[in-house]
Chains A and B, each alone.
Chain A
Amino acid sequence: MALSQAEVLSGLAEIVNEETGIDTSSVQMDKSFVDDLDIDSISMLTIVVNAEGKFGVTIPEEEVANLKTVGDAVNFIVNA
């Protein structure tokens, strides 16, 4: 069964929190990983690796650059 947007957002927020210490409540759909959350490229890859494991999806390397906002990542995972 596909996960809902809210479920993925919640799970992704936990992963971001674990990697960066950013409060889960700050991880919102409209937030930019780089500009708002100050997440660097290696943290982003770590988040991607953990998201792949948690949600059972594959996020190709070339796709990572397109995931500008939390919403981009959530929607990619929901539709994967």
Chain B
Amino acid sequence: MTQPTLKQYETNRFSRIYALGAARGDLVVTNDDIAGPIDSSDEWIQRRTGIVSRRRASANVSLLDMAVEASNTAIKRAGIDPKEIGAVIFSTITHPHQTPSAAALLADRVGANPAPAYDVSAACAGYCYGIAQADALVRSGVAKYVLVVGGEKLSDFIDPTDRTISFLLADGAGAAIVGPSDYPGISPTVWGSDGSHWDAVGMTASLLELRDGTASWPTLRQDGATVFKWAVWEMVKVARAALEAAGVQPEDLAAIVTHQANIRIIDELAKQLEVPESVVVARDIVYTGNTSAASVPLAMDALLESGAVKSGGLALEIGFGAGLAFAAQVVVLP
């Protein structure tokens, strides 16, 4: 008796992003609205962050609501049947349940049930982590289409008196459909983490400390100097490595879409990369704020919707944040 030959997945050579979808918080929150508790001003906030206003969600709008809206748009634009989605990856740090995942609920709400679904915790790098995984799942043949969502309702985890990060933060969700392609649409991802700086940005306390009464409701905070230096100094190296891995030069890009952390970081990164003026630098932060995992897809969608970039161009996307975690890849714009 001979042993049968195992079947394995039939692979796809290439993958690409088919479409994006975006949902922003329904409220426009100005600097004047939040300046009081941090003893600041519109001018001070604009000068240090570039933010004019930020989008936050009403109390009755959940993280999942925004993720569903963004996902439905992406699915519709991609022209696929949600039943063909072979995996749902939801990058978020603000799903208010330790378990079950937000992704399982999202998959059900968008008609992708029973697709495998799981959350990714890589903070502001989360969407690019998700694209890396989706690319691998599609090319390996594990999934035909993958729904990747970066979504946050950060306003549930802010301290209005915190001067380190809370005033930057906003709510939203960005979604992408990744699927098989006739041409290379997603470059190798340069990604990683540095847990030696685990404390640089994150929550003020653990849930155990909250339970034991030794801490109040955990909120986000950061060591701004450490994060700024890392974001500029180390992420330039990551961005250059991603360009090299993709086999493209800065002048080949249509756009650079960085995590929308702070306009000063965005501008300094673009300067260090020595990108020509022809390359559009995403500055969605100005009227959206910092939406962590959602910021890259929201910024990319805004560039496409405004006509600032065209479908088919190349974009360097780079996410970086708590972990510390980072990921960068070059993609063909959907």
A:43-68 near B, CB below 8 Å = 43, 45-46, 48-49, 52-53, 61, 64
Give chain B residues whose Cβ lies under 8 Å from the Cβ of A53: 233
Residue B223 is within 8 A (CB to CB) of chain A in the complex: yes
Give chain B residues whose Cβ lies under 8 Å from the Cβ of A64: 225
**Residue of A41, A45, A46 with most partner-chain B CB within 10 A:** A45
Contact indicator A42/B48 (Cβ below 8 Å): yes
A42 to B266, CA, bound (A): 12
User: Closest chain B residue to A19 by CB distance?
Assistant: B268
Min Cβ gap A1→B in Å is 25
**Total chain A interface residues with beta-carbon distance under 8 A:** 12
Contact indicator B233/A52 (Cβ below 8 Å): yes
A48 to B232, CA, bound (A): 11
Give chain A residues whose Cβ lies under 8 Å from the Cβ of B48: 40-42
A42 to B261, CA, bound (A): 13
A31 to B229, CA, bound (A): 24
The verdict on A61 contacting B223 (CB below 8 Å), with A45-B228, A49-B229, A49-B233 known, is yes
Give chain A residues whose Cβ lies under 8 Å from the Cβ of B144: none
A61 to B110, CA, bound (A): 46
Residue B226 is within 8 A (CB to CB) of chain A in the complex: yes
Contact indicator B47/A46 (Cβ below 8 Å): no
Q: What 10 A-B pairs are tightest by C-beta distance, nearest first?
A: A61-B225, A45-B228, A42-B264, A49-B232, A61-B226, A49-B233, A42-B48, A46-B268, A49-B229, A45-B225
Beyond the given A53-B233, A64-B225, please list 7 additional residue pairs across the A-B interface where CB-CB is below 8 A: A42-B48, A45-B229, A46-B232, A49-B228, A49-B229, A49-B232, A61-B223
19 example contacts (A-B, Cβ-Cβ < 8 A) are as follows A40-B47, A40-B48, A41-B48, A42-B228, A42-B264, A43-B264, A46-B232, A46-B264, A46-B268, A48-B229, A49-B228, A49-B232, A49-B233, A49-B268, A52-B233, A53-B233, A61-B223, A61-B226, A61-B229
